[in-house]
């Protein structure tokens, strides 16, 4: 199979170079993406059962799947609208191909493949074989490339258009409209004769050809369509230029991340993480005023931007897509409140936004990662006043007793929103929490407990804001309690970090993942980390099959599918592993990293990266195609074997 793929790949590289000057340019590029076939399994022919993931790229709001061999259509399935409110198949397949000499022929599938940034189909009939590739040229337009084994007259049509979709022919284009306003534009070369038949179309080649390209575009309104028509023609008239740009973009992603000293199976994990992040990229639309990353394009309730999710995504993107990382941060700050608060989440429809709570503050970390990889002081200067306003907000609105140790809370006084603000919705440390009204404000409520992770995050934010101030020649004029966090939250008798009750200063002695944060942010002392090691290395508590669950695995409240009450969240596992590395435990950190890489189910195969995983099994839980987990897998990959 690999040899067959290599032959087909070589053929398509030649096909793509329709313009000789671009042929020479393309030869200068490496071809890393084709080293990673079947990077994700997205085989799905539209039916009544739910689909669990699409091929999408370049920030597009449309997606495609590969047809299953059991329910074959001779084309890519879709497009599917990824809009949160209108998730729908606009066609089972908007573009199927055959030979016009025998329009009724049946095609037999030979192979399908998902490479990074590319879909591939090969099939044959009694007349000959056809290979198809699909690439995203930009957020609105894909280019579908066709090659046959000998010159043939080709025939195209659609299969099972979505309900209420209406079609019309306009010169060398097919326009399919849905009542929602969403529009598909198919643009053919002048070699094709187009006709409309029973709310479908036929496009038939006038002369035989071995290769051809069709542009498939997706728009949300008529204004976009008007602008897009000319762009589609430009792409069709010089496809090699745009295919080259696609290849260059993906080669850039991969070469910036891949290491020469890693095993191929671990390289594959890193590539899958890149693919997942890019598939969750969405261009600005409606209330989303900048491009950004959604947690998962495959789950409708996750098609928005969340605050601490965005900080994680940007920290990972900084390595290979820094401009997207910057916009991902800007998108959240577009909704910064007058008092400095960054709200929980935002959507294309701002009426859906949640401003009842914020999220844990890791944004200066993300900005610092971008600065580390780009040295872009202009971006630091742009963000610094907004970062300072957000940092100060915590001490103004979330420090109930004014002692410099903050609490999670909400604007509406509800426990629900306060738990959301922690990011750990049902964590056991909050089981008995109550809400306190903060004096002087109508919109400021706190839990009646101070959280170790929140204050450790704030200590890191403080350190980085001081760094930015030095870079910019600015004055840091905000609270700094970072030197008090470690001793305040460390229970020396137990040898662990815990939240504390405001009422009496007692520890909430639930062994949980919040204790990893002081190690990651490096506020813990070396002596404190040494005291923690017996608990961290205990195989009944934290050194489990997949290491570092959200609570100790022997806790009576542990639930293997309990969201934040047991399962593995890779951000928390990463904080623990990187935390150990920070204090010189490099061998141990590498051992735990390999447990993640080798034991998460499907990670090295075609399964999507998931939201969380089983502590004792590595089984996949909750949402697939999850950006958060992907971001931290890239960090694991980057850190492995290094002595920071």
**Cα angle at 515 between 613 and 567, to 5 degrees?**
15
With beta carbons less than 8 A apart as the criterion, state whether 175 and 168 touch: yes
pLDDT of residue 25: 45
Q: Is the CB of residue 27 less than 8 Å from the CB of residue 20? A: no
Residue 578: both structure tokens together = 């990187």
Q: 327 in helix, strand or coil?
A: helix
Q: Which of 252, 277, 293 is the last residue of a domain?
A: 252
- Residue 10's pLDDT is 39
The verdict on 245 and 263 lying in the same domain is no
CB burial string 531-555: b at 16+ within 10 A, e below? bbeebbeeeebbbbbbbbbbbbbeb
At 55, give phi and psi (nearest 5°).
-90, 120
Per DSSP, 107 falls in state P
Whose structure tokens read 């084309």?
A: 75
Record the tokens describing residue 107, joined without a space: 């095609």
- Residue 628 domain flag: yes
Nearest to 468 by CA among 453, 483, 478: 478
Query: Is 79 found in the same domain as 100?
Result: yes
Q: The domain that contains 361 carries what CATH number?
A: 1.50.10.10
319 shares a domain with 222:
no
Residue 422 and residue 407: Cα distance in Å, rounded?
A: 9
- Please spell the DSSP secondary structure of 46-105, one letter per residue: --SSPP---B--TT-SEEEEBPPGGG--SS-EEEEE--SS--EESEEEEEEEEEGGGTTP
Do 9 and 112 belong to one domain? yes
Instruction: Pick the last residue of a domain from 252, 285, 302.
Output: 252
Q: Can you read off the two tokens belonging to residue 557?
A: 């409240």
Find, among 383, 316, 317, 304, the residue nearest to 344 by Cα. 304
Residue 644 lies in a domain: no
Tell me the three state secondary structure of residue 193: strand
**32 and 51 co-located in one domain:** yes
* Domain region containing 243: 2-252
Q: What is the pLDDT of residue 27?
A: 54
Same domain? For 82 and 145 the reply is: yes
Omega of the bond prior to 421 within 30 degrees of 0, cis?
no
Task: Let me know if residue 93 belongs to a domain.
Answer: yes
Cβ proximity of 111 and 133 under 8 Å: no
Contact status, residue 392 vs residue 439, Cβ threshold 8 Å: no
Q: What is the 3-state secondary structure (H, E, C) of 491-554?
A: ECCCCEECCEECCCCCECCCCEHHHHHHHHCCCCCHHHHHHHHHHHCCCCCCCCCCCCCCECCC
Domain count, the chain: 2
Containing 14, the helix (H) or strand (E) segment is: helix 2-16
Same structural domain, 291 and 399: yes
**Does one domain contain both 201 and 310?**
no
How many helices and strands in the chain, by DSSP H and E?
Answer: 17, 28
Run of H or E residues at 247: helix 239-257
Give the CA distances from residue 14 to residues 191, 369, 386, in Å, rounded to whole numbers and listed in that order.
Answer: 21, 39, 50
- pTM for the whole thing? 0.95
The residues, ordered by sequence, that sit 6+ positions from 270 with a Cβ below 8 Å of its Cβ are 257, 258, 262, 633, 634, 637
Token pair, residue 62, equals: 């449309």
Q: Residue 442 corresponds to which tokens in the numbers above?
A: 């109508």
For residue 139, what are the CA distances in angstroms to 59, 143, 217, 422, 444? Answer: 5, 12, 9, 34, 40
Position 535 in a domain: yes
Is residue 335 domain-resident? Answer: yes
User: Is there a single domain that holds both residue 227 and residue 371?
Assistant: no
Are 82 and 211 within one domain? yes
* CA neighbor of 566 nearest in space, from 428, 415, 417, 420: 428
Whether residues 384 and 489 share a domain: the answer is yes
What was the pLDDT predicted at 630? Answer: 98
441 contacts 570 by C-beta, under 8 angstroms:
no
Residue 282 domain flag: yes
Q: Looking at residue 100, which CATH number applies to its domain? A: 2.70.98.50
* CB 62 within 8 Å of CB 80: yes
Q: CB–CB of 310/359 below 8 Å?
A: no
For 45, the enclosing helix (H) or strand (E) is: none
Q: What is the CA radius of gyration of the chain?
A: 26
For the chain (length 644 residues), average pLDDT per consecutive 10?
39 39 56 96 92 97 97 97 92 96 85 98 96 98 97 96 95 95 97 93 96 97 95 96 98 98 98 98 97 97 96 98 98 98 97 98 98 98 98 98 98 98 98 97 97 98 98 97 98 98 98 98 98 98 98 98 98 98 98 98 98 98 98 98 85
One domain for residues 158 and 199: yes
Nearest to 147 by CA among 161, 134, 160, 165: 134
| Domain's final residue, options 226, 252, 278 | 252
């Amino acid at each position: 199979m690999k040899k067959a793929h290599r032959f087909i790949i070589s053929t398509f590289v030649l096909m793509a170079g329709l313009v000789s000057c671009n042929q020479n340019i393309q030869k200068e590029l490496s071809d890393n993406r084709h080293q990673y076939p079947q990077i994700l399994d997205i085989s799905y022919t539209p039916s009544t059962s739910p689909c669990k993931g699409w091929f999408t790229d370049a920030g597009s709001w449309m997606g495609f799947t590969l047809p299953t061999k059991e329910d074959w259509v001779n084309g890519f399935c879709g497009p599917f609208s990824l809009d949160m409110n209108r998730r729908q198949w606009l066609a089972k397949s908007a573009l199927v191909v055959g030979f016009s000499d025998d329009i009724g022929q049946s095609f037999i599938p030979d192979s399908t493949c998902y490479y990074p940034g590319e879909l591939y189909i090969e099939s044959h009939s009694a007349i000959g074989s056809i290979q198809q590739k699909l690439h995203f040229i930009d957020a609105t337009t894909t280019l579908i490339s066709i090659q046959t084994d000998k010159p043939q007259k080709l025939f195209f049509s659609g299969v099972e258009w979505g309900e209420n979709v209406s079609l019309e022919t306009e010169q060398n284009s097919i326009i399919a409209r849905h009542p929602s306003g969403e529009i598909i534009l198919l643009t053919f070369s002048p070699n094709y004769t187009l006709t409309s038949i029973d709310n479908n179309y036929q496009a038939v080649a006038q002369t035989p050809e071995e290769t051809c390209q069709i542009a498939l575009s997706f728009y949300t309104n008529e204004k976009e369509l008007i602008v897009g028509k000319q762009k589609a023609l430009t792409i069709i008239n010089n496809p090699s230029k745009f295919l080259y740009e696609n290849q260059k973009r993906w080669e850039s992603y991969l070469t910036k991340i891949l290491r020469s000293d890693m095993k191929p199976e671990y390289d594959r994990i890193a590539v899958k993480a890149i693919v997942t992040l890019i598939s969750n990229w969405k261009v600005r639309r409606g209330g989303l005023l900048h491009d950004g990353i959604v947690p998962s394009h495959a789950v409708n309730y996750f098609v928005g931007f969340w605050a601490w999710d965005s900080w994680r995504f940007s920290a990972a993107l900084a390595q290979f897509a820094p401009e997207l990382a910057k916009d991902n941060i800007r998108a959240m700050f577009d909704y910064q409140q007058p008092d400095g608060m960054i709200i929980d989440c935002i959507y294309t429809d701002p009426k859906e936004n949640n401003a009842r709570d914020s999220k844990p503050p890791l944004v200066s970390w993300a900005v610092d990662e971008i600065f580390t990889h780009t040295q872009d002081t202009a971006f630091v200067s742009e963000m610094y006043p907004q970062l300072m306003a957000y940092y100060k907000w915590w001490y103004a609105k979330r420090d109930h007793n004014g002692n410099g140790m903050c609490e999670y809370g909400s604007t509406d006084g509800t426990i629900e929103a306060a738990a959301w603000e922690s990011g750990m919705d049902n964590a056991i440390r909050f089981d008995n929490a109550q809400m306190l009204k903060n004096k002087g404000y109508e919109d400021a409520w706190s839990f009646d407990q101070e959280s170790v992770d929140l204050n450790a995050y704030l200590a890191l934010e403080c350190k980085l804001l001081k760094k930015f101030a030095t870079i910019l020649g600015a004055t840091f004029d905000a609270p700094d309690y970072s030197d008090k966090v470690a001793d305040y939250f460390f229970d020396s008798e137990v040898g662990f970090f815990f939240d504390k009750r405001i009422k009496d200063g007692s520890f909430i002695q639930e062994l949980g993942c919040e204790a990893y944060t002081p190690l990651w942010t490096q506020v813990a002392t070396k002596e404190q980390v040494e005291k923690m090691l017996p608990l961290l290395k205990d195989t009944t508590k934290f050194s489990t099959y997949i290491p570092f669950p959200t609570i100790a695995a022997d806790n009576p409240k542990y639930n293997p599918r309990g969201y934040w009450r047991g399962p593995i969240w890779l951000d928390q596992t990463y904080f623990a592993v990187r935390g150990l590395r920070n204090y010189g435990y490099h061998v141990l950190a590498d051992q735990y990293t390999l447990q993640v890489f080798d034991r998460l189910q499907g990670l090295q195969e075609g399964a999507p990266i998931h939201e969380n995983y089983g502590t004792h099994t590595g089984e996949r839980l909750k949402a697939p195609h999850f950006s958060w987990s992907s971001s931290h897998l890239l960090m694991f990959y980057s850190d492995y074997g290094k002595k920071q």
